[in-house]
Structure 1
Amino acid sequence: MAQLRILLLTALAPVAWGTTYLITTELLPSGHPLLAALLRALPAGLLALLIGRALPRGSWLWRSAILGALNIGAFFPLLFVAAERLPGGVAAAVAGVQPVIIIGIGWVVLRERTRMPATAAAAAGAFGVALVVVGPTAQLDMTGVLAALGGIAATASGVVLTKRWGRPVGVGPIAYAGWQLTAGGLLLLPLTLMLEPMPARIDLGAGAGYVWLGTVGGLVAYVLWFRGIQQLPVAAPGLLALLSPVVATVLGVVVAGESFSVTQSAGIAIVLVALVSGQAFAHQRDGVPAGSPASRAGEPAGMR
């Protein structure tokens, strides 16, 4: 029951992220991915630092900088580039390759084995993404596709390192999320000032969009996400990320009037099936439930 609760709370993060695509295209000024990334990261990070009342020390100074660069500084702007250039369902569906990347990096870095059914589900999700992205009638913006893939690779690496390094004793999830959001925001600040002009106008809708992305899609989502990463098997967060295409696709069709070819629809369906089936196996390794003493015996101390 406790594991299910952690799973459901962690799942709220990709659900919130699925709204990013619609908000970006419908509310935010176009052509300002760095500004959107900065406003999503830095205010939320500073607020989390105030609430959490803890600053990184020692090795966590450089660890926070690396995690912030991967999970926030690289991922956020690439995410907004993809959201501007691709239909919401397509941009989010590219996340279907993330489980494959996480499983591969997790095997190399963590030596954590994933059961074959979970690996097969991850591969099926990647195949579904291929149908969405390179189908015969897709005609997608390749800059958007590459941005989505780059962002996914960055955050996949961040997921594995987050699980590898764990969280310092006595530091809560809010402060921990604040370290990464602030580090990523500070990385984005000079880049935004140097490379991107301010939009001519930020209306009420754009302001509301930035607030939503910074609070629900930023602070709240990342507190739940980083907390869940450290308590779930390495394959589980990547498979949970497939919830993002569900939300983005539904919002795209219902609100934005998007449509998909038969091939793309089949690809999205495969991604969703991979999500549902993969979670059942991601929580077991070699017949031992994840989180049990036996399953955790071989984990590095920093992961406990």
Structure 2
Amino acid sequence: MSIFVVPALVALIIKLGVMFVSRTTFMSSPYFGFMVLVFACHNLCEVLVFWEYFHGDKAEYVLRSYYVISLVSLLSIALYISSIVDFIGAPIKRLLVSLVSFVSLFIIFSDSIVAGSRSLGYVFTAVRGEYYGVFQLLSLAFMGLLPFVLYRGYVRAQNHNTQIRCAFMGMALVPHFLSVILVILIMNLGFQVNGAAIFPFATTLFLVIILASENQHKLTDIRRFIPFSHERRTSNEIMDIYSKYARDQQSYREAISEIEKLLVTHKYDKTGRNASSTAELMGMPRSSLYSLFNRLKIKK
């Protein structure tokens, strides 16, 4: 058995841990549970391709399963994103499921995409069929579509938690998508590479990040760490006020007044300086908001 099986095996154990934690410590969404299960199966195939027992027809069966689960994993991400945003309807979901099912049947029952298997010494990899490019194009189409959907979901979000979950998802997709693009690029340059040696790390990191966004009791706003964002600016300014107060350079009343002004200004800027939207977001009448503006000397 190849030593390269160790990272894949560790990643599989972590995924099983994520599945256990998500089901026992809090109520995660069904789409999240499905996504973890799919990625665990995907990781299991990665472990099996390093197992020396699988050769010939057995190796080809594992590889065909691996490619099918790869497509289903992208589908599971799309379905999970659909549970975050509100503009992906049932017809689009059915279309995606049908498309993935159709290509998966070609992978399993024909040599059009996976034509066999061959050894690379430490592992075996697929022999590309005549229409292997269909699999790559479909994968790249998913990777191009999903960030766009997340961006639209973030912009159109009606509540704070939806924006945070979109931000978490976007951050989680970066290492996963970069690993997929890297493998596709290397293969199209003519080099032999097996994604099972790379994907376990990326998919594990992906699920761990999403786990944090699923756990509502530990939800943090990662936008505080994004350069030039309103959240980062407000967070830094509040910390500056606290620092001055802690060093006795500012009185209690001054600190409270400045923090209150920052909190109101943050909401005001976030709505594009729309007083009606700001009042609604803060849960107060517009007249009360104008009173705050006057008291805190905020320019309208």
Q: TM-score if structure 2 supplies the norm length?
A: 0.27
Larger of the two Rg values belongs to structure: 2
TM-score (norm 1): 0.27
